[in-house]
């Protein structure tokens, strides 16, 4: 009965759990050494903890078909049953069968299918088992890998699997998916691929009716040559698919990428181990990359406008980018980063004779300042009514003198006393009101403010009968 199971500790298909339970009850009742029959509870607990993959007598698995996974032969005995399934030990395990495990993502190292979110834990060409990547077509998978439908419980899931074509086999279960068969080819039994699967037949392979290892027949993808010898190596680097290849190639279009290549700093997986530029750190790359920074400054140092940002490593560790730069928001009126102490364009200097102007991006200068030349003659800033010592007042009888710093006064102004009889400032030739003309027949009168004229002069008519000025005697 034990030989029906793919023995992997801690995992059984629901159908297999029932078989283990029956087996546990029978084994307990038939024990020849007097051991007590295990209780139904203990058997239930063992069934809950265990979860394996059932295998048919020919080695194939209706539940999962793993690549390169060791399967127990039909001669397995009770000693091959994992300790987890022993009712005596299950009671002390402390395992909580009701607790739902958390699955891990694709690419994570695993040992069992139910650890993985994709429900498939498969070996890779380097021997490491990882959670498989879910796929729809081969385009979703790594170069050279296939998108294959695999059974998971009572359903199927399409995942990316490593190349297995032409690998030696004895049963179908050693080959990719449930429809991929172990066939007879060139006298050997090797793995083939089902025609019409998600990945189809690879280049150099054709769909043909072939004999299967179990004596039947099926349509499978087989080499056009009809033989699985040599090495299908498109980039001629010695790595590819076939018995004579050095190993499976992860990129058969690039001879510089294969399991024997040395990992170099190029943001690629050169040695086909699933990692990029691993263990290559350049001493001049503070981000941990394998080459000096291609651009940017040291991480966490200021950058950007007015040092408002900070350099941060990019995801590829090849450079840094300025994060948090506020741009022109922080610039002053002159386009710089310093805080200006004055307002651009405001008046400045002696008597506000200048105005603040940019002196570069971070400073101001008082442009147009007249200095001492801006002061008036009295030492102030106000425009004076007159200049000191200049004449002022009525008929310029006074002189301007400073009255403080910003005013003048007319000192010595005679006012009306400075005016002539005609209210002017000029000196009159004759006094208004005095006689003038022939025989004083007229009178001097004002002719404006600064002149007089003889008004009423009778001329010759002023003479008397005697021919001269009266009185005539």
Looking at residue 242, what is its pLDDT? 66
pLDDT in single tens digits along all 473 residues of the chain: 333 333 333 333 433 333 333 333 333 333 334 333 333 333 333 333 333 333 333 433 333 333 333 333 333 333 333 333 333 433 343 444 445 557 888 888 888 888 898 888 876 655 567 888 999 888 888 876 778 777 666 677 888 877 777 788 889 887 877 888 999 987 788 888 888 766 677 777 789 999 999 999 999 988 776 767 667 788 889 898 766 788 888 998 999 999 999 988 888 899 999 988 888 888 888 888 888 888 889 999 999 999 999 999 998 888 999 999 988 888 899 999 999 999 999 999 999 999 999 999 999 999 999 999 999 999 999 999 999 999 999 999 999 999 999 999 999 999 999 999 999 999 999 999 999 999 998 999 999 999 999 999 998 888 877 888 888 77
In the chain, the number of structural domains is 3
Looking at residue 225, what is its pLDDT? 67
Q: Could you tell me if residue 66 is inside a domain?
A: yes
293 lies in which domain range? 281-330
Q: Could you tell me if residue 32 is inside a domain?
A: yes
* Burial status of residue 126 (CB atoms within 10 A of its CB: 0-12, 13-18, 19 or more): middle
Residue at a domain's end among 330, 362, 395:
330
Looking at residue 31, what is its pLDDT? 39
Q: Could you tell me if residue 452 is inside a domain?
A: yes
Integer Cα distance of 300 and 82 in angstroms? 54
Q: Could you tell me if residue 326 is inside a domain?
A: yes
Q: At what angle do helices 40-49 and 14-29 cross, to 10 degrees?
A: 140
Looking at residue 472, what is its pLDDT? 78
HEC states along the chain? CHHHEECCCCCCCHHHHHHHHHHHHHHHHCCCCCCCCCCHHHHHHHHHHCCCEECCCCCCCCCCCCCCCCCCCCCCCHHHCCHHHCHHHHCCCCCCCCCCCCCECCCCECCCHHHECCCCEEECCCCCEEECCECCCHHHCCCCCEEEEEEECCEEEEEEECCCCCCECCCHHHCCCCCCCEEEECCEEEECEECCCCCCCCCCEEEEEEEECCCCEEEEEEECCCCCCCCECCCCCCCCECCCCCCCCCCCCCCCCCCCCCCCCCCCCCCCCCCCCCCCCCCCCCCCCCCCCCCCCCCCCEECHHHCEEEEECCCCCCEEEECCCHHHHCCCCCCCCCCCCCCCCEECHHHCEEEEECCCCCEEEECCCHHHHCCCCCCCCCCCCCCCCEECHHHCEEEEECCCCCEEEECCCHHHHCCCCCCCCCCCCCCCCEECHHHCEEEEECCCCCEEEECCCHHHHCCCCCCCCCCC
Q: Could you tell me if residue 56 is inside a domain?
A: yes
Looking at residue 180, what is its pLDDT? 86
Looking at residue 254, what is its pLDDT? 93
Q: Could you tell me if residue 298 is inside a domain?
A: yes
Q: Which residues contact 30 (CB under 8 A, 6 or more apart)?
A: none
Q: Could you tell me if residue 129 is inside a domain?
A: no
Where do we find the tokens 């077509």?
137
Residue at a domain's end among 90, 125, 148:
90
Integer Cα distance of 355 and 344 in angstroms? 8
Residue at a domain's end among 58, 90, 122:
90
Tokens of 387: 């200049």
Output Rg (C-alpha) for the chain, integer angstroms: 58
Looking at residue 363, what is its pLDDT? 94
Looking at residue 33, what is its pLDDT? 41
- Kind of pairing between the strands at 205-211 and 217-223: antiparallel
Q: Could you tell me if residue 177 is inside a domain?
A: no
């Amino acid at each position: 009965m034990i030989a029906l199971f793919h023995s992997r500790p801690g995992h059984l298909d629901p159908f297999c759990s029932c078989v283990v339970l029956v087996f546990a009850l029978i084994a307990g009742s038939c024990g020849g050494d007097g051991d007590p029959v295990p209780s139904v509870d203990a058997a239930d607990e063992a069934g809950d903890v265990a979860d394996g993959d059932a295998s048919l007598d020919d080695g194939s698995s209706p539940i999962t078909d793993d690549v390169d996974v060791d399967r127990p032969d039909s001669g397995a005995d009770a000693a091959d049953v994992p300790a987890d399934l022993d009712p005596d030990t299950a009671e002390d395990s402390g395992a909580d069968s009701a607790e739902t495990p958390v699955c891990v993502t694709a690419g994570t190292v695993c040992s069992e299918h139910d650890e993985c979110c994709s429900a498939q834990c498969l070996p890779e060409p380097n021997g490491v088992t990882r959670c498989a990547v879910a796929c729809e077509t081969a385009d979703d998978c790594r170069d050279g890998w296939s998108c294959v439908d695999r059974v998971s419980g009572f359903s199927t899931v399409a995942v990316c699997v490593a190349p297995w074509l032409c690998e030696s086999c004895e049963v179908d279960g050693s080959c990719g998916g449930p429809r991929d068969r172990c066939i007879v080819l060139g006298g050997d039994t090797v793995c083939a691929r089902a025609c019409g699967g998600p990945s189809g037949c690879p280049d150099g392979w054709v769909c043909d009716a072939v004999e299967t290892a179990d004596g039947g027949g099926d349509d499978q993808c087989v080499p056009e040559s009809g033989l699985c010898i040599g090495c299908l190596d498109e980039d001629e680097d010695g790595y590819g698919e076939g018995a004579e290849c050095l190993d499976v190639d992860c990129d058969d279009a690039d001879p510089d990428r294969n399991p024997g290549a040395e990992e170099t700093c190029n943001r690629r997986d050169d040695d086909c181990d699933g990692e990029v530029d691993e263990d290559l750190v350049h001493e001049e790359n503070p981000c941990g990359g394998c080459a000096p920074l291609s651009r940017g400054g040291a991480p966490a140092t200021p950058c950007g406008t007015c040092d408002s940002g900070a350099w941060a490593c990019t995801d590829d560790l090849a450079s840094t980018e300025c994060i948090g730069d506020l741009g022109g928001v922080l610039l002053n009126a002159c386009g710089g980063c310093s805080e200006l102490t004055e307002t651009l364009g405001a008046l400045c200097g002696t008597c506000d004779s200048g105005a603040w102007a940019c002196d570069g991006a971070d400073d101001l200068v008082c442009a147009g300042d007249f200095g001492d030349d801006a002061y008036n003659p009295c030492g102030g800033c106000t425009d004076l009514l007159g200049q000191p010592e200049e004449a002022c007042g009525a008929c310029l009888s006074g002189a301007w003198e400073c009255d403080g710093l910003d005013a003048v006064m007319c000192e010595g102004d005679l006012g009306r006393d400075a005016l002539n009889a005609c209210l002017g400032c000029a000196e009159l030739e004759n006094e208004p009101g005095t006689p003038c003309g022939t025989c004083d027949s007229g009178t001097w009168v004002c002719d404006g403010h600064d002149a007089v004229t003889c008004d009423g002069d009778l001329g010759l008519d002023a003479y008397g009968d005697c021919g001269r000025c009266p009185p005539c005697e």
